[in-house]
Amino acid sequence: MFHDEDLFWIVGLGTDRRHATTIRPGAVYAGQWVPALCSAQLKIPQPTPSGREPGSTSVRTLCEDCLQQAQNGDYTEVSWDF
């Protein structure tokens, strides 16, 4: 179960790094735009078909602005791949 203080590190469509958002990824649909902590807008990608590994699992680079804000907050952090 997720709580309001949860922070999700996601790779938005067309981005090369993970950004942090407090929007629960499962609560939005593919193609929807969500705000990151750094104020960037992230487009939610399509879900990966069953049996395949999401391409974003290898992305380890974090947005520096999001990281700084995350460290200043009291969050439980989760890496989320679609």
Question: Looking at residue 61, what is its pLDDT?
Answer: 98
Could you tell me if residue 61 is inside a domain? yes
Compute the C-alpha angle 28/53/65, nearest 5°. 55
- Name the pTM for this structure: 0.89
As for how many domains the chain has, the answer is 1
Could you tell me if residue 31 is inside a domain? yes
Could you tell me if residue 66 is inside a domain? yes
Where in the sequence is the domain holding 49, given as residue range(s)? 6-79
* Dist. CA 51–CA 41, nearest whole Å: 29
Give pLDDT tens digits along the chain (82 positions).
555 689 999 999 999 999 999 999 889 999 999 999 999 999 999 999 999 999 999 999 999 999 999 999 889 999 999 9
Could you tell me if residue 1 is inside a domain? no
Question: Looking at residue 2, what is its pLDDT?
Answer: 53
Question: Looking at residue 3, what is its pLDDT?
Answer: 56
